[in-house]
Amino acid sequence: MRAIVAMGTLLVLLLGVVPGALGEQRAEDETATLVGELLRQLEGESDELHAFYAARSYRPAWQESETVAAFSAALHTLRRDGLDPQDYRPDSLMSRHRQLEADDLEARARFERAATRVLLTALSHLQRGKVDPYAIDPDWEVPIAAPDLDLAAVSRAVDGQRFEQAFGLARPDHPPYERLRTGLARYRNIERLGGWPRLPEREAPLRPGDVHADVARLRERLAIIGELEVMAADTGVFPGAVLEAPDAQRYDAPLEAAVKRFQRRHLLEADGIVGRETRAALNVPVQRRIDQIRLNLERARWLLHGLPEVFVLVDIAGYRLSYFRPGGEIWRSRIVVGRPYRRTPSLRSAINRLTVNPSWTIPPTIRRQDVLPQVREDLGYLARERIQVLSPTGQRLDPETIDWSRPGNVLLRQTPGPHNALGRVAIRFPNDHLVYLHDTPARGLFAREQRAFSSGCIRVEEAITFAQLLLDDTGTGRDLRELIADGRTREVPLAERIPVILHYWTVNPAEDGVLAFRPDIYRRDDALLRALDRPLVL
């Protein structure tokens, strides 16, 4: 035995290495061979896959079982972002890694490539969304402005098994996204605990002062989502599981206030009366609300990257315009958007000019569907609405000489003034849909909670104030009211362009964390949900 040890010692002396170094050398040789095989298999792969390995000098990333196990566990957490972890086959990754033979370098290289594909796919979905918006909305015109991923930082996170950190590098870094994630967790907890009670159908609405068993159900329903502050037994579950009130079946003032808050957040008339529409909103199952949050997280991944400091955001389904001004102030106004059959599109552009005292050339669809039927019934409609009839070259025509059953390609143009459908100012930005923001003489519609009444363009309640802010903030140096008083139609270019985004949200995460669910006026949610839930083919 001693002779064998002596011979081993002599061999070490002759080679000039220690036994541990021999093992290290073999490991280095094996790794070099694996890297060579990996490089061969990366031929024809995506630039991003090459960039990931280039960022780590082509060192393998997935050879240690602990790293693969940590990655598999992290993939399950993507459920918190509304994604389906099974799209990324987390359990399959672990089983494949266990089956790898140590000396099968080709199989190990294939696993390396496959695991990195999964990582990059998950990061892409967190950053840009799983669903291509162009595939489900032909009118989509909002380029996704996500920045390039810091693959060197991703590589370091992988080496440290810090996968939540890697995912954080991809997620939108914007408060509404985190509020939606928090809301998703909250509503899933409500689902886990049994959801909320359903209000029975009834002919008569519930009104303040009523005493009825349904009032106790209403009280519990609102307490579960935190809309109603009530005395509750400490069940260890959630407030509202057991309610204690002076009279749980009496529709009292605190309950009325809670109903009105619920109605406002769901864009219902805030009258405190639980009628057909309010009952329907209350009875939407918690699973449906969870799905709404998930698909609006997807919409957030499309939008909430690369937002400038100063921009205008048009919330279509929420009927609200928000102007994020220089210095951090946010100016807001109610808006009217397109009817369901004349949808306001989603787009991204930049406001470049104002039209003061605009005339309005009636678009072909409105001309055909709205105006011509009224003209055929009563020719005096044109004079009452101050609509001129023009030839294609702009010459005035006598309406009496036109065959209104077949008017041809005449133009109809409403003259400028307070009667004009565009009001006193139009706010323009280039886009293929020919939509814009504008003033309006029809002020009554702004009092309604749901305001989808236009032909696609966006009416702004305080358009003149908004336009003056744009003139002031861009240093254009014009007084809008003086320009309006002048009476002439004129184009006023802005000294600086202001980015504008028109986007569609059916869940709004308020700053206090409470989620407001909006009616899906354009019926876009179902198509997006189907696409989001479609199994991914890797």
Do 199 and 279 meet the contact criterion of CB atoms below 8 Å apart?
A: yes
CB burial string 158-186: b at 16+ within 10 A, e below: beebebeebbebbbbeeebbebbbebbeb
For range 38-49, the mean pLDDT? 80
Q: Which of 14-28, 311-325, 468-482 has the lowest mean pLDDT?
A: 14-28
Q: DSSP labels for 499-529? A: EEEEE--SEEE-TTS-EEE---TT--HHHHH
Quick one: what percent of the chain has pLDDT higher than 70? 91
pLDDT of residue 241: 40
pLDDT at position 245:
59
Residue 26 is predicted with a pLDDT of 52
- CA 118, 121, 127, 133 dihedral sign is negative
pLDDT tier at 336 (50, 70, 90 boundaries)? very high
Which of the four pLDDT bands, split at 50, 70 and 90, describes residue 33?
confident
Higher pLDDT, 8 or 492: 492
Per-residue pLDDT, 9 = 35
Predicted pLDDT of residue 521: 95
Give per-residue pLDDT as tens, 453-509: 998 899 999 999 999 999 999 999 999 999 999 999 999 999 999 999 999 999 999
pLDDT (average), residues 130-145: 86
Task: Give the predicted TM-score (pTM) of the model.
Answer: 0.85
The CATH class, in words, for 199-282 is mainly alpha
Per residue in 205-229, pLDDT (tens digit) is 999 999 999 999 999 999 998 887 6
- Kindly state the average pLDDT of the residues 342-356: 94
**422 token code pair:** 């565009």
pLDDT at 394 over 90: no
The residues, ordered by sequence, that sit 6+ positions from 256 with a Cβ below 8 Å of its Cβ are: 208, 272
Contact call for residues 197 and 217 (beta carbons, < 8 A):
yes
Domain 305-529 grouped into CATH 2.40.440.10: yes
pLDDT band at 3 (very low <50, low <70, confident <90, very high): very low
Average pLDDT of the segment spanning 9-33:
46
Q: Is the pLDDT of residue 1 over 70?
A: no
Q: How confident is the model at residue 32 (pLDDT cuts 50, 70, 90)?
A: low
- Average pLDDT of the chain? 88
Q: Domain segments of the chain: what residues?
A: 22-171, 199-282, 305-529
Rounded Cα–Cα distance for residues 125 and 130 (Å): 5
Structure tokens at 261: 């808050």
Which of the two residues, 317 and 232, has the higher pLDDT score?
317
Mean pLDDT for 333-360 is 94
User: In the predicted model, what is the mean pLDDT of residues 329-336?
Assistant: 97
Q: Which of 29-33, 188-192, 378-382, 527-531 has the lowest mean pLDDT?
A: 29-33
Q: How confident is the model over 323-337, as a mean pLDDT?
A: 96
In this prediction, residues 32-53 reach a mean pLDDT of 80
Q: What is the DSSP string of 313-344?
A: EEETTTTEEEEE-TTS-EEEEEEEEE-TTSPP
